[in-house]
Chains A and B, each alone.
Chain A
Amino acid sequence: MTTHTTAAAPPVATRRRRAPRAGGSTLLRRRQRWGWLFVTPFLIVFATFLVFPLVYAFGMSLFTSTLATGTDFTGVGNYVKAFSDPLFLEGMLRVLAFAVVMIPAQLIVALAAALVLDTLATRLSKLSRLFIFVPYAIPGVIGALMWSFLYSPRFGPGATIFGAFGLETPDFLAADSIFGSLVNIVTWQWAGYYMVVIYAALRSIDPSIYEAARIDGANGWQTAMRIKVPMIGSSMVMVIMFALIGTLQFFTEPVVLRNVAQGAIDAAYTPNMYAYSLAFSYSQFNYASAIAFSLGALVFAGSFLFLFLTRKQSGLK
């Protein structure tokens, strides 16, 4: 992992071991100590708020406390329970379904907008880019609140818009339409951010490549699909991975929409909501720990697998 920033850098071997150059092992040891000093403040936070909570939650999840018998060691009992608990499994399947629908939706909007923006340099296109990005500056809670007003039959424009075409207003908050309503909120919230990321990657491509493609007779669509998209592979992988992690821990939007759609969104709609309600409504902290830990492990494994499968596209080895 050593870097070589200039051609004047000495050969790899002497570079990795700074000792011969730095003149003696005392200096090397002092250097090492400085390295640790710089990373230690972060590592303290890392240990306290990541490693320790995970270990603690894992420990908690191995116990079960009941009113009758107090706290007992039950080993993997809570995990056996979780992976046969229909509420947890349904929640997991639901967030997977969200991932399958929501990530392509966000990605297609973001990629299409970025590709179009990349070919334009007008004032109108700059303004559009700003408009598309603005929802990123709005907290997820507020965004979901706004959409819950817009979906609401009492406040929303649904009746006016659909009435103008002589259509019946759909109930955006009904059980069979809430999925789409949530996909819409998240796409609105995040597509602009992903667009900015993809757009920046597109701008870093050397345009002389397009020149060559045009001489070879490629049209705009072919240039986009055969050159631009493959060349921003690493950014796409990054965007998909963040969207994946975000989707599997879906929480904020369904919680906010539950205010107005109690019937369509139950307390165990997503695994995170289930863990939250187990902990704070039912005080089942041991079982909630097992659910949270399982979710974390599944997300970690999923993203790892994804990175592994796309290692060619992302350039990560």
Chain B
Amino acid sequence: MSIFTQRTNTSAGDPASTDPPTTATGLPSHVDRSVRGHGRGRGTRRIGAHVFLMILAIYFIVPIWWLVVAATKDTAGLFSSPAFWFADTFALFSNIAELFTHQGGIYWRWLGNSFLYAFAGGIGATVLAVLAGYGFAKYDFRGRGAVFTMVLGSVMVPMTALVIPTFMLLSQYGVINTPWAVILPSLLSPFGVYLMRVYTQDAVPDEMLEAARIDGAGEIRTFFQVALPLLRPAIVTVLLLSVVGTWNNFFLPLAVLTDPQLLPVTVGLNRWTALSNAGAGGEQVWNLITSGAFISVLPLVLSFLFLQRYWQGGLSVGSIK
């Protein structure tokens, strides 16, 4: 039970959660935290802590800085200039222009495919998870325990072990090499169902549902108008996790897609890299790989920057069972 309380404390705006933990002084905890750390050696320890964090931050950001710089170089610049600084020629715009002409601008096709797969798969998986989580949490139907145990156990089945079986199954039914071959398997998110169930149990009081029913609302209306608004933080989390999951997916599209026009950007760029490493001069498109990689990470990196509020509290919903 304690684990549920932990979780609700981290999710803002949850009506079922108790008051935020307060200190002996009665101040909310975040106020107390900022003044914590009085005592001996406080100054040096704070400096040490900051230095430690700065070193970590540099390690994590340097490769990204490299990508920003590399995206602005042409192939000659990639070979000759320092790795972490700009070359003499600023080639970002000519690289982008070349992405529009190389192989008929297939790069933008790949980027579009990535968006399509990530959003169709992510939104679909979220809808299914919200419905199922609500069903498991709020209806005491026969067989619920057994079915839910099975779903929970499947969290431990590695998704990549399913790729080859899924490939064989889909090729039996002729859906291989279509967008559906990526989107449909991406709808499967047992972990999302688990999260939604745990969250729904806490965030939607049974009494509210009963009250809505007594007032004459049907089951569907109760779900949409009473439960759904209360579930918003968890929905955002599950959506974020499943969109990122599908966007990052590599093994599944690699296995089920062969038509170059259908590839997501991850598989496409890997294909260019393999060609550039193996191939002759004409197939070496290093500048397109770096600038293409840069453009492809922008949407997600920027959304994480702007959605900080959601992932900082939100992803934690996923953390605590």
Bound Cα distance from A235 to B9, whole angstroms: 14
Contact partners of B168 in chain A: CB under 8 A: 53, 56-57, 60, 285, 289
Residue A174 at the chain B interface, CB threshold 8 Å: no
With A49-B184, A122-B50, A157-B82 as known contacts, state yes or no: A149 contacts B166, CB within 8 Å: no
Interface residues of B in 146-180 (CB under 8 A from A): 147-148, 151, 153-154, 156-169
Q: Is the interface of B mostly helix, strand, loop or mixed?
A: helix
Stretch at the interface among A74-82, A84-92, A198-206: A198-206
Q: B205 to A5, Cβ gap below 8 A?
A: yes
Bound Cα distance from A214 to B79, whole angstroms: 56
Q: B139 to A201, Cβ gap below 8 A?
A: no
Write out, one digit per residue, whether chain B residues 309-321 have a CB within 8 A of any chain A CB (1) or not (0).
0011101101111
With A117-B53, A127-B57, A155-B83 as known contacts, state yes or no: A50 contacts B157, CB within 8 Å: yes
Contact of B56 among A128, A143, A147, A307 (CB under 8 A): A128
With A124-B50, A141-B250 as known contacts, state yes or no: A197 contacts B315, CB within 8 Å: yes
Q: B135 to A37, Cβ gap below 8 A?
A: yes
Write out, one digit per residue, whether chain A residues 227-257 have a CB within 8 A of any chain B CB (1) or not (0).
0000000110111010001001101100110
Residue B96 at the chain A interface, CB threshold 8 Å: no
Q: B37 to A119, Cβ gap below 8 A?
A: yes
Chain A nearest Cβ from B169, distance in angstroms: 5
Contact of B164 among A193, A288, A307 (CB under 8 A): A288
Contact partners of B70 in chain A: CB under 8 A: 149, 155
Q: B154 to A50, Cβ gap below 8 A?
A: yes
Residue B280 at the chain A interface, CB threshold 8 Å: no
Chain B nearest Cβ from A306, distance in angstroms: 9
With A252-B250, A279-B164 as known contacts, state yes or no: A300 contacts B297, CB within 8 Å: no
Q: B250 to A137, Cβ gap below 8 A?
A: no
Q: A208 to B21, Cβ gap below 8 A?
A: yes
Contact of A39 among B21, B147, B290 (CB under 8 A): B147
Q: A260 to B277, Cβ gap below 8 A?
A: yes
* Chain B: CB-nearest residue to A116: B49
Bound Cα distance from A156 to B290, whole angstroms: 13
Bound Cα distance from A211 to B21, whole angstroms: 13
Chain A nearest Cβ from B195, distance in angstroms: 11
Bound Cα distance from A197 to B158, whole angstroms: 21
Contact partners of B49 in chain A: CB under 8 A: 116, 119-120, 125
Chain A nearest Cβ from B311, distance in angstroms: 7
Interface residues of B in 115-137 (CB under 8 A from A): 127-129, 131-132, 134-137
With A32-B139, A155-B78 as known contacts, state yes or no: A206 contacts B21, CB within 8 Å: yes
Contact partners of B206 in chain A: CB under 8 A: 3, 5, 9
Residue A139 at the chain B interface, CB threshold 8 Å: yes
Bound Cα distance from A259 to B297, whole angstroms: 21
With A35-B139, A234-B3 as known contacts, state yes or no: A45 contacts B128, CB within 8 Å: yes
Q: A42 to B193, Cβ gap below 8 A?
A: yes
Q: A137 to B169, Cβ gap below 8 A?
A: no
Stretch at the interface among B86-94, B99-107, B265-273: B265-273
* Chain B: CB-nearest residue to A42: B132
Residue A150 at the chain B interface, CB threshold 8 Å: yes
Q: A206 to B29, Cβ gap below 8 A?
A: yes
Q: Can you name 28 A-B pairs with beta carbons within 8 Å?
A: A3-B137, A32-B142, A35-B138, A35-B139, A35-B141, A35-B144, A38-B134, A39-B147, A43-B132, A45-B128, A48-B184, A50-B162, A109-B56, A113-B56, A116-B49, A137-B301, A140-B248, A197-B315, A201-B320, A204-B7, A204-B316, A207-B32, A249-B158, A251-B250, A279-B255, A296-B157, A296-B161, A300-B156
Q: A141-B248, A249-B158 are in contact. List 13 more A-B contacts (CB 8 A).
A: A5-B207, A32-B140, A34-B219, A35-B144, A36-B141, A38-B134, A46-B154, A52-B169, A131-B61, A138-B64, A146-B66, A249-B159, A304-B156
A-B pairs, top 7 by smallest CB distance, nearest first, are A35-B139, A38-B135, A200-B316, A296-B161, A35-B141, A57-B165, A53-B165
